[in-house]
């Protein structure tokens, strides 16, 4: 299974109000193992960035002046994520922004077409299910899963994707062990891999009914016959 852990930074909160993607960070995993491949791009949004957004990620309009627009990076981005399972924190935010960007590109595929299964894995929803009543921001998850996030003084798409990769592996570690995975496992997990039985190890065991069970079965059939019911047992014996 090929998985892409993705994060974006944007000019604001709502693509429907014309806000744009300004940074994309993607990390690749195959069969729950990190590869050496990633995708990272800063993007000129061709519009002003909200001051509140700059306070979150620290990316300024001046910094993005000489960066390509989304059309300039779209082919490489599409090629990188195509066919992979997409994983993101509060995934609808990232996917909705990327969908809005793709719609501006003639003949570009949709995010639904690009993602394996047509929908992302949302680690925020996963965390809320596993940790009801707890804080489930990326910072909180890093703290609770003992993941070093000391470099994260501001949001950044690639750094956040790297941290989310570690969080995702931590949250799904026991599940992986249940199904026999040996990678990225936590020592001392209470789960042991499920062993698949081979045909050679299987022996059919036949337990014949006792005399009492046969007698009870016959009495039950006689009762049904008296009620003139259509008994499948009788038809199968004829």
Torsion of CA 54, 69, 123, 149, to 10 degrees: -50
Select which of 19, 89, 155, 217 is catalytic: 155
Under 8 Å between Cβ of 83 and 71:
no
Which three-class secondary structure string do you get for the chain? Answer: CEEEEEEEEECCCCHHHCCCEEEEEEEEEECCEEEEEEEEEECCCCCCCCHHHHHHHCCCCCCCCCCCCHHHHHHHHHHHHCCCEEEECCHHHHHHHHHHHHHCCCCCCCHHHHCHHHCCEEHHHHHHHHCCCCCCCHHHHHHHCCCCCCCCCCCCHHHHHHHHHHHHHHHCHHHHHHCCCCCCCCCCCCCCCCCCCCHHHCCCCCCCCCHHHHHHHHHHHHHHHHCCCCCHHHHHHC
Looking up tokens 């627009």 gives 69
Please confirm, yes or no, whether 51 is among the known catalytic residues. no
Catalytic residues: 155
């Amino acid at each position: 299974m090929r998985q892409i852990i993705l994060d974006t930074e944007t000019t604001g909160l709502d693509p429907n109000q014309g806000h744009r993607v300004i940074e994309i960070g993607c990390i690749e995993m195959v069969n729950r193992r990190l590869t050496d491949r990633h995708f990272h791009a800063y993007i000129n949004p061709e519009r002003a960035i909200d001051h509140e957004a700059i306070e979150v990620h620290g990316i300024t309009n001046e910094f993005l002046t000489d960066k390509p627009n989304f059309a300039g990076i779209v082919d490489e981005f599409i090629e990188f994520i195509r066919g992979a399972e997409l994983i993101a924190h509060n995934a609808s935010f990232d996917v909705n922004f990327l969908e809005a960007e793709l719609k501006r590109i003639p003949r570009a595929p949709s995010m639904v077409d690009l993602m394996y299964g047509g929908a992302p894995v949302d680690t925020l929803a996963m965390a809320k299910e596993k940790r009801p009543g707890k804080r489930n921001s990326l910072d909180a998850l890093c703290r609770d899963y003992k993941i070093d996030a000391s470099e994260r003084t501001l949001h950044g798409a690639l750094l956040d994707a790297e941290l989310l990769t570690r969080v995702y592996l931590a949250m799904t570690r026991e599940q992986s062990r249940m199904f026999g995975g040996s990678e990225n496992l936590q020592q001392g997990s209470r789960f042991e891999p499920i062993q698949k039985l081979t045909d050679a190890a299987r022996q059919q065991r036949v337990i014949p009914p006792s005399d009492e069970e046969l007698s009870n079965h016959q009495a039950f059939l006689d009762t049904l016959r008296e009620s003139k019911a259509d008994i499948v047992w009788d038809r199968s014996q004829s």
